[in-house]
A and B are shown apart, each in its own frame.
Chain A
Amino acid sequence: MTIHARQDTGVAPLPELSTVVSSISRDSPRPLIWAYLAVSGAVFVLMMLLGVLMRMAQGGSIVLPPEWFYRVMTLHGVGMVGISGLAGASIMWHFASRHLDLSPKILATNLVLFLAGVLLLFGPVLISGYAAGWTFLYPLPRLSGGVWSQTAAAVHLTGLLLVGVGFLLLHLDVARAIFAKYGSLGRALGWPQLFGRSTEEPPPAAVVASTMVLIVNVLGLVSGAGILVMSIVNLLVPNFEIDALLAKNMIFFFGHVFINATIYMSVIAVYEILPVYAKRPWKVSRVFLAAWTASTVMVVIVYPHHLLMDLAMPAWTRVLGQVVSYASGLPVLLVTAFGGLTLMYRSGVRWDTAASLLFLSLFGWSAGVIPAVIDGTLAMNRVLHNTQWVPGHFHFYLLLGLVSMVFGFMYFSIRQARDGTDNLWDRCAFWGFTIGALGVVLTFLAAGRVGVPRRFAVHLPEWATYSTVGAWFGVVVALAASIFVARFVARLRAPA
């Protein structure tokens, strides 16, 4: 084991890092988790390259015809959302399985359904020109203007359904294990400790987070499955029409919840791994429990902030969207970011790539809240909605937040299982990733400031600089991520 920490002097003794790590090592990820991570790493890099391709095309550095631009955009969106879910699920499953009797068969089934779903998702895009975006906003899958067929759309949406079913099974298995051990979801969220006078030890962070995720994601996935089935029926029987506003609500509820759940699953890596480096526990306090219960409610009810420009929505839903957007930033900032800062503050940590990535992820998640909350303000949304401000804020907490969490988990896990030290490549990759990701995010936000629309295949000449500069930062991010993945695979192939 090559993780180092400075020795304490004159402070209450804490377990040696090597002891802590070796106890965790007994729970070294099973091969299936390696498979999840390898697939995730490879798809992340591939999707980043697609992102670079789009930015280069917008900047005029390469020629990408609109029909291909929108295909690439659809692949990038659906690929990134799906793979974030898969990577997050691997982190959640790995840590939750220390406390819960989870089924490896269900974990394997989810991966198989995911890969089968990907074939159905990608096939129609690459072969038949399907390009309705990952949001499949009704009735665009059916009304393509003659660009793709109903069959292509139906196959693509079936692929999405298949991926969703896999995740639903995974969460239902987590629910089964939680009921078996804790008896209720409330107990697994620590409600007896939060609302009652229970002096029992609260559930571990991984269980609390897994419970929150299963509650919100089951609701989200059911909503998503519902609108997918309705859309598929609409493709096969055009007379079966759907209310466009209902469809939009169901799609954005599903999309919002699912993408948020990917972060809430991945952040478990921060709660579990950073304490090992700090040699301090991440305490599951009442504040922690309150924050996760509040987040459970807020993630579900905040989704109307995606519909602030749907003026046909009742005004109260749009006010709710803004107010809850403000409130939902607080648990992130006051519990997770603040907790991480105080955990690491003068902890004697010796930074390596895993610790650095996980600490960076806390910054990415919490700093990304700022432009997100601004966009969630009704008056601001009127001039920022669907401009590049939107990819600016979500890349902030997904690229710098979630992706950092996943790569941090990969680095930590592989070093537990295979001996090895970080080298110059790792350090360069970390700084390349950090600087590149900040560049990607800031160029999006700067473009959003001047009203550059998102999802445009062709940009005006005056917008080209933002895209070109963003593309080169994207190249740096993709290179750094390639190094992360290459180092992971190389260590995975080395003898244990």
Chain B
Amino acid sequence: MLPPIAWYLTLTGVIALGSIFWIVAAGASHKAPPVSVQTARIRRLCTWALGLLAFPITLASLSYAPLVTEAAIPAGTESVEVVGHQWFWELSQTQVPAGELIEFKVTSADVNHGFAIYDPESRLIAQTQAMPGYTNSLQVRFEEPGTYKILCLEYCGLVHHGMSSTIEVIHSQHAAN
């Protein structure tokens, strides 16, 4: 859901800004007195508008931010240990239940890697870095069962593009059985 929002927001902003530049460029060969008074007023308005917009947008976007600390993860949450190697993924389990919170504890045995999960429709749904000496805790709730692909999103050498794996997300009942 988020990437299309990013795309359309960008297109809208770029087209709006481009139109302003185009209009100014097209009319720039005509001569008129400088517009310093209006300029100051318009800039003040823009500053206030952007400032007022930025505040709720920041608050709203931060409420969706992946900022959950390890301590805040509910007890009993299923966890998967993930270790990145040049050039393969080592997972403690490759089957997880749908609809439940899963914690991926991600680290690396050698260089930096990027642990990225793609859903069955090849949409990137979550990621974190895999770093030597650190464990990054990534929480994911898989909504739908299916085969999810794991790719490496941090350049790690010659076979970076080939460093992939899969996770099977199954119905919760199957997991319980």
Contact = CB atoms under 8 A, between A and B. Distances in A.
B141 interface: no
B13 to A, nearest CB: 4
B61 A377 contact: yes
A490 B57 CA distance: 51
A287 B30 contact: no
B133 A244 contact: yes
Contact of A310 (B131, B132, B156): B131
In the complex, which of the residues B62, B64, B154 has the most CB atoms of chain A within 10 Å of its own CB atom?
A: B154
A387 B39 CA distance: 39
Contacts of A66: 158-159, 161
A347 interface: yes
A51 B39 CA distance: 41
Interface string A124-163: 0000000111010111100111010000000000000000
Interface residues of A, number: 87
A67 interface: yes
A341 B24 contact: yes
A370 B124 contact: no
B155 to A, nearest CB: 4
Contacts of B64: 378-379
A334 B6 contact: no
Contacts of A312: 131, 134-136
Contacts of B65: 318-319, 322, 377-379
Interface string B17-30: 11011001101111
B134 A363 contact: no
A9 B67 CA distance: 61
B2 interface: yes
B131 A244 contact: yes
A379 B161 contact: no
B28 A349 contact: yes
Contacts of A363: 17-18, 21
A451 B118 contact: yes
Given A345-B27, A345-B28, A319 B127 contact: no
Contacts, number: 239
Contacts of B112: 137-138, 140, 244, 248
Contacts of A487: none
Given A311-B138, A379-B65, A449-B3, A9 B160 contact: no
Contacts of B157: 70, 131-132, 140, 143-145, 147
A457 interface: yes
B29 A371 contact: no
Nearest to A376: B61
Given A133-B155, A139-B111, A378 B43 contact: no
B128 A309 contact: yes
B131 A347 contact: no
B67 A315 contact: yes
29 contacts: A6-B31, A70-B157, A137-B111, A137-B112, A143-B157, A145-B157, A145-B158, A245-B133, A310-B134, A312-B134, A322-B61, A323-B58, A330-B50, A333-B50, A334-B46, A341-B21, A342-B36, A346-B30, A346-B35, A347-B28, A349-B29, A367-B13, A367-B18, A370-B10, A377-B65, A382-B2, A383-B127, A446-B7, A455-B155
Interface of A: 6, 8-9, 11-12, 66-67, 70, 73, 131-133, 135, 137-140, 143-145, 147, 243-245, 248, 278, 280, 287, 309-312, 315, 318-319, 322-323, 326-327, 330, 333-334, 337-338, 341-342, 344-351, 359, 362-363, 366-367, 370-371, 374-375, 377-380, 382-387, 389, 445-446, 448-451, 453-458, 462
Task: Give the top 9 A-B pairs by smallest Cβ distance, nearest first.
Answer: A348-B31, A378-B65, A451-B124, A346-B32, A386-B153, A379-B64, A370-B13, A311-B136, A456-B161
Given A348-B28, A370-B14, A453-B161, 6 more contacts: A311-B128, A334-B47, A378-B65, A448-B3, A449-B6, A462-B122
